[in-house]
């Protein structure tokens, strides 16, 4: 039997009939399909399970059974555990459901970990790992392997990946308008294909894909429109459609679409369409790709063990949860199948004390100059790491009083390291190193690479705190969440008192940041303050920047009261920072956002408040010109488009709003809309008109658009001086 020795990277891992299909990118640049025998497993554990019934069940389900012990998460005690190993990855889900019906969900552990993640955790062949493999020459079965790097390496070698972009001409969702030509772009060359050419259109698309041979196929609305339409067309014309790399079992794998609620917002996730031997990422169906690009996806795939295509369509919370699962498995902790730890009873008085959240001050509306902003670095994750805050360590019974949590009467364990802080500690360290590299490098491409990688880790740290209090998180517990916010309030209050003791005027505080000023203070004074706060609190805080001027903007309902997260300012570098204004909102027409950006860019040149006020006539002229362009018809419809996200099913809209009218128009034209779908429309002819079906004869509602411009003007210039009515 001939054998190959290959060195390269794990490109993708896909469950197969008898194990895992491993797509491997060799150092020579070839992407080959290998196979790895692997049988996933799950665990039934508990003192009340009978061995006879377990062995009978394993025989019925054709599983191998291994008896052992596992560690119960909250108590840390060892309990009897039986591992059921299924014959093939495809059998895992159905066998787990049988076990749940037979023994109940409380007896199930390690039961909903995807086979490809189990494979990564068991073998170390995580996505994009660098490895040397020995395999058979006839069928590519992996016989042995050696891992050559670690997911935590900063400078692990990585191959270059080629990319192609597949989209339709124009803007907006292609299903929400008339049929538009298909574009495929690679290497700076764009090819245009016409749908009406039918079979020839499909053959030309496949020819171009084979010629370009991209590692990554980026699409716009690929999951929701392009690939379903291509598959339907290919099925109707009976043309084989293989968008992945050629292989005997090549196909397009599809999962279910879904709508879900995230932080009070309804989100629609289109049905994922993933390929074999080639990555497909829908840029319109991937938050992580939009935030971090391919470098960020690679970073998170390496750390979480989730294959890149699936990771692209999940949230950062899914990635941090996968990392917590990996930590648990390494420590022999049994991963609960479903959350089963209820919130402890609290009286009304207890809730008032514990359920406060982050500390937020209410700034007075107004303009300030020479203001320093100091931010605690990854405050909540750092607190979780420093004070060992984890679901199983909060109010533990093994070391009372333990380490007391301020204000709320809780404590954390001092005897065992919590699972959550053990998971996030290396993330904090790696992100700090990546940020240092980002600052130190003189090369823009390297700086952008480090920025995307550390941004990916930032999102892990952002969501790890939220998952502590998430009701469905398997490693969540609201008491741990409350302990983090209690420590956060303590640290922010300490920072305020230290700043005031050093002669600074405290202007604002928001969860993990403070804004202070002192007459004549220089950058060195603010840095010394940051060092003093770090020393006194034990928590690193850094100078984010010094504002030339900073405006805390008033509430629209009560002008005498400011809003905590609504401000605009210009740093001494000329960089602009804004929160909560029109240009930051996704439903603001591009024309209105462009006006505010133009105003702020001009305002950023002002060194002092006097300079800023002197600019008022010029700023008013910018607004006047924008309004004139609007009425003269020089603003294209795309710049007037308003975007909305549907919060419910289309048939549930009863009010006669512009968005509801557009929803009815699109549904009447055969467009499928779900809760969380986005629509775009123009205010014209007294109603909303879907952007994709405009015919050029519409008359925009100039009065309403002018109102938006005036409101955007007032938002920024209202504190400087009177604005037009």
Two tokens, residue 524: 């060195």
Model pTM?
Answer: 0.92
Task: Collect the ranges in the chain with pLDDT lower than 70.
Answer: 1, 246-250, 263, 339-356, 471, 722-725
CATH architecture observed for domain 163-285: 2-Layer Sandwich (3.30)
Place of tokens 């997260």: 565
Task: Respond yes or no on whether the N-terminal peptide bond of residue 401 is cis (omega within 30° of 0).
Answer: yes
- In the chain, ranges of CATH 1.10.132.60 domains: 636-699
Q: What is the pLDDT of residue 350?
A: 55
Q: What is the pLDDT of residue 112?
A: 92
Helices 702-717 & 616-631 angle (0-180, nearest 10): 170
- Of 297, 281, 287, 289, the C-alpha closest to 221 is 281
**φ, ψ for residue 552 (rounded to 5)?**
-90, 115
Write out pLDDT tens, residues 174-213: 999 999 999 999 999 999 999 999 999 999 999 999 999 9
- Of 293, 291, 262, the C-alpha closest to 470 is 262
Place of tokens 């074999």: 276
- In the chain, ranges of CATH 3.30.420.10 domains: 163-285
Q: What is the pLDDT of residue 2?
A: 83
Q: Which residues contact 556 (CB under 8 A, 6 or more apart)?
A: none
* Residue 390, Cβ density class (10 Å: 0-12 exposed, 13-18 middle, ≥19 buried): buried
Helix, strand, coil proportions of the chain in percent (round to 5)? Answer: 40, 25, 35
Q: What is the pLDDT of residue 599?
A: 97
Strand order in the sheet with 108-109: 64-71, 78-85, 41-45, 108-109
Two tokens, residue 147: 């891992």
Q: Which residues contact 141 (CB under 8 A, 6 or more apart)?
A: 34, 35, 36, 37, 135
With contact defined as beta carbons under 8 Å apart, do 524 and 382 qualify?
A: no
With contact defined as beta carbons under 8 Å apart, do 690 and 653 qualify?
A: no
| Residue 205 CB neighbour total at 10 angstroms | 20
CATH architecture observed for domain 41-112: 2-Layer Sandwich (3.30)
CATH of domain 636-699: 1.10.132.60
With contact defined as beta carbons under 8 Å apart, do 286 and 272 qualify?
A: no
Q: What is the pLDDT of residue 656?
A: 85
Write out pLDDT tens, residues 479-518: 999 999 999 999 999 999 999 999 999 999 999 999 999 9
Q: Which residues contact 91 (CB under 8 A, 6 or more apart)?
A: none
| Residue 155 CB neighbour total at 10 angstroms | 7
- 366-376 vs 513-517, strand pairing mode: antiparallel
- The Cα 104–Cα 48 span in angstroms is 12
Gyration radius from the chain CA atoms: 29
Long-range contacts of 465-472 (CB under 8 A, 24+ apart): 465/380, 465/381, 465/384, 466/317, 467/317, 467/320, 467/321, 468/384, 468/389, 468/391, 468/420, 470/317, 471/339, 472/339
Q: Which residues contact 306 (CB under 8 A, 6 or more apart)?
A: 114, 116, 117, 127, 300, 314, 318, 319, 322
- In the chain, ranges of CATH 3.30.70 domains: 41-112
With contact defined as beta carbons under 8 Å apart, do 659 and 681 qualify?
A: yes
């Amino acid at each position: 039997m001939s054998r190959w020795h290959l060195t390269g990277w794990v490109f993708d891992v896909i469950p197969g009939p008898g194990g895992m299909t491993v797509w491997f990118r060799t150092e020579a640049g070839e992407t080959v399909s290998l196979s790895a025998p692997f049988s996933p497993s799950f665990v039934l554990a508990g003192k009340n399970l009978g061995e006879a019934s377990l062995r009978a069940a394993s025989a019925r389900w054709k599983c191998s059974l291994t008896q052992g012990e596992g560690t119960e998460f909250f108590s840390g005690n060892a309990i009897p555990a039986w591992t059921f190993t299924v014959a093939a990855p495809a059998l895992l889900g159905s066998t787990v459901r049988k076990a749940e019906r037979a023994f109940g969900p409380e007896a199930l552990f390690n039961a909903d970990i995807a086979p490809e993640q189990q494979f990564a955790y068991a073998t170390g062949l995580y996505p994009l790992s660098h490895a040397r493999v020995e395999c058979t020459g006839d069928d590519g079965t992996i016989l042995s392997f050696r891992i050559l790097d670690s997911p935590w390496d900063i400078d692990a070698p990585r191959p270059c990946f080629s990319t192609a972009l597949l989209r339709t001409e124009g803007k907006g969702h292609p299903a929400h308008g008339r049929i538009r030509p298909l574009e495929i772009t690679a290497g700076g060359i764009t090819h245009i294909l016409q749908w009406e050419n039918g079979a020839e259109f499909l053959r030309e698309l496949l020819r171009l894909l084979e010629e370009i041979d991209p590692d990554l196929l980026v699409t716009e609305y690929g999951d929701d429109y392009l690939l379903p339409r291509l598959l339907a067309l290919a099925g109707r014309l009976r043309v084989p459609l293989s968008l992945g790399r050629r292989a005997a079992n090549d196909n397009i794998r599809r999962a279910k679409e879904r709508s879900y609620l995230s932080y009070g917002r309804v989100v629609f996730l289109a049905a994922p369409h993933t390929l074999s031997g080639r990555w497909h990422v829908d840029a319109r169906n991937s938050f992580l790709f939009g935030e971090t690009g391919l470098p960020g996806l690679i970073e998170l795939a390496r750390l979480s063990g989730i294959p890149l295509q699936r990771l692209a369509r999940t949230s950062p919370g899914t990635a941090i949860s996968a990392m917590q699962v990996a930590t648990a498995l390494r420590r022999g902790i049994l991963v609960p199948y479903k959350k089963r730890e209820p919130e402890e009873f609290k009286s009304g008085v207890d809730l008032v004390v514990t359920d406060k959240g982050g500390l937020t001050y209410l700034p007075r509306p107004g303009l300030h100059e020479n203001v320093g902003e100091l931010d605690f670095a990854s405050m909540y994750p750092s607190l979780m790491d420093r004070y060992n805050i984890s679901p199983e360590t909060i109010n533990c019974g093994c070391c009372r009083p333990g380490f007391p949590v301020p204000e709320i009467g809780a404590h954390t364990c001092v005897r065992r390291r919590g699972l959550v802080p053990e998971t996030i500690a290396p993330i904090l360290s790696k992100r700090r190193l990546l940020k240092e590299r980002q600052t130190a490098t003189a090369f823009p491409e390297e700086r952008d690479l480090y920025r995307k990688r550390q941004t990916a880790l930032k999102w892990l740290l952002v969501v790890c705190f939220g998952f502590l209090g998430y009701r469905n998180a398997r490693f969540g517990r609201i008491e741990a969440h409350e302990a983090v916010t209690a420590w956060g309030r303590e640290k922010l209050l300490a920072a305020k008192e230290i700043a005031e003791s050093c002669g600074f005027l405290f202007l604002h505080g928001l969860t993990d940041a403070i804004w202070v000023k002192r007459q004549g203070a220089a950058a060195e004074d603010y840095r010394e303050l940051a060092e003093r706060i770090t020393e006194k609190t034990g928590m690193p805080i850094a100078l984010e920047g010094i504002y030339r001027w900073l405006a805390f903007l008033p509430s629209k309902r009560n002008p005498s009261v400011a809003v905590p997260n609504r401000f605009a300012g210009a740093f001494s570098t000329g960089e602009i920072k804004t929160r909560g204004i029109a240009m930051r909102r996704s439903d603001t027409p591009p024309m209105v956002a462009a006006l505010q950006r133009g105003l702020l860019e001009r305002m950023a040149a002002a060194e002092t408040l006097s300079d800023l006020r002197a600019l008022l006539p010029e700023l008013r002229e910018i607004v006047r010109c924008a309004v004139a362009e609007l009425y003269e018809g020089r603003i294209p419809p795309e710049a007037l488009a308003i975007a909305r996200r549907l919060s419910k099913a289309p048939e549930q809209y009863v009010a006669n709003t512009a968005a509801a009218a557009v929803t009815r128009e699109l549904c009447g034209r055969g467009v499928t809309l779900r809760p969380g779908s986005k629509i775009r429309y123009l205010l014209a002819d007294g109603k909303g008109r879907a952007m994709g079906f405009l015919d050029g004869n519409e008359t925009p509602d100039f009065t309403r658009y002018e109102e938006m411009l005036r409101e955007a003007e007032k938002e920024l210039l209202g504190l400087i001086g009177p604005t037009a009515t």
